[in-house]
Structure 1
Amino acid sequence: MTIYSFYIFDRHCSCIYSREYTHTTPGNGRTNVNNESDVAKLLFGTLYSLKTLSLKLDDSQSLNSLRSFSTGAYRVHFFESLSNFKFVLITDLAVETLQTQLQQLYGVVFVNNVIMNALSPVEFGSAKITNDSFVRLADNFLRLLPVFE
């Protein structure tokens, strides 16, 4: 089991944070390289379409009716906050849902280091999350998960 990548989208559909994990090298991946790539745009489009479909099929109209979906090669885990920040983890197929871990990542790491940070922009626009403490704490949080290998 392993985590391949982690994305955060803001309420304007912009990828404000991306992190790829390479489990073979000590540096362990790249940060904010794929924010403007077609991968991030296609991922957001897929999530938007599936979320819209799941809301139409779900009578409860809950915000997080879409939790994860899988393809033949990977599983995508999804969490959306009340402020419309979307957290996405891409893992291998053997990983069960990580909804509660994404909620914890949002509530503990993101809120304390990005939302409560006076130097962070209120509207990101073309800005990206480059806060070193957020990057370090998010990496540490994900590395401590039993699925991170």
Structure 2
Amino acid sequence: MTIYSLYIYDRHCTCVYYHDWHRTRRPKLAVEGGILPAVSQAVVALAAETNSSTLTIYSSPRNTLTSASGVVVAVNEMNAQSAVSPLLQAPPSPVGISSTGLAFDEEVKLVYGVVLSLRNMIKKLSGRDEQFLNYRTSAYKLHLFETLSGYKFVMLSDPGTESLRFVLRQIYVGPFLEYVVRNPLVNMDSKEYGIDNEYFRTSVDRMIRGSSFFP
């Protein structure tokens, strides 16, 4: 089984988080203003990456209190860019990996459009008690977990993967509640920033890589 990518959409139908693992064709960078800042530095232009206002408290070079020791470390302003966690930096494009030819902001709209259309179709054809959980094509399988507050967790995997709804739920009840919902620095109703911070991204990455279905 192979996990390709994870999208999180908020109640405003906006992508607030993105993470990928085994994509063979990376999306093109989103156009300026096409997505919220702090969704993922892998899909934004360099100008947005180097804008310090888009960094969260966890990735900010001024967050000098180490979680392990509690020791305050002085950080020079000149070293601000190097202080950002490697998980929050745009990964280099692997040799031989091609682009999808589609900008990331267009990609997230298509993914959400598919989810919304299929969910509405199921409700109209089968009644309100039926839920849209996943669907499969010859190339991938899409998994959906929706919270009562309107957040949608969407994961793409290879077609042979069993339902990953329980994984999406674990991400929600674990890192999402811990580092996003209970974080007083995150505005859950904001249309200005995504939810990308070092603790949340690291926890999601560790959870996926440590699972039995991750190759």
TM-score using structure 2 length: 0.61
Report the structure number with the largest CA radius of gyration.
2
Unaligned runs of 5+ in 2: 25-38, 45-103
Question: Which amino acid is the alignment partner of residue 137 of structure 1?
Answer: S
Change in Cα spacing, 1:107 to 1:121, as seen in structure 2 (3 Å) is same
Q: State the distance in 1 between where 2:134 and 2:154 align.
A: 9
Instruction: Please point out which of 177, 182, 194 is paired with 1:128.
Output: 194
Output aligned runs, 1:1-149, within 5 Å. 1-22=1-22, 31-34=40-43, 37-61=105-129, 65-149=131-215
- Aligned equivalents of 2:167 and 2:125: distance in 1? 25
SS at match of 1:129: coil
Q: How many residues in Structure 1 have an aligned counterpart in Structure 2?
A: 142
- For structure 1, the 5+ residue unaligned runs are 25-29
Partner Cα distance (2:127, 2:196) in 1: 39
CA contact under 8 A between 1:19 and 1:32: conserved in structure 2? no
Rounded Cα–Cα distance in structure 2 between residues aligned with 1:32 and 1:42? 20
Identity %: 34
Distance 1:121 1:147 in 2: 33
SS in 2 for 1:37: helix
TM-score computed with the length of structure 1 as normaliser:
0.86
RMSD: 2.1
Per-residue CA deviation, residues 51-89 of structure 1 (Å, 9 max, x unaligned), is 111122333535xx1110111100000000000100011
Q: Deviations over 1:104-138 (max 9, x none)?
A: 11111111110010001121313111221100001
The ranges of structure 1 where at least 4 consecutive aligned residues each deviate by more than 3 angstroms after the TM superposition are 30-36
**Cα drift, residue 144 of structure 1:** 1.8
The answer to whether the Cα contact below 8 Å between 2:3 and 2:156 also exists between their aligned partners in 1 is yes
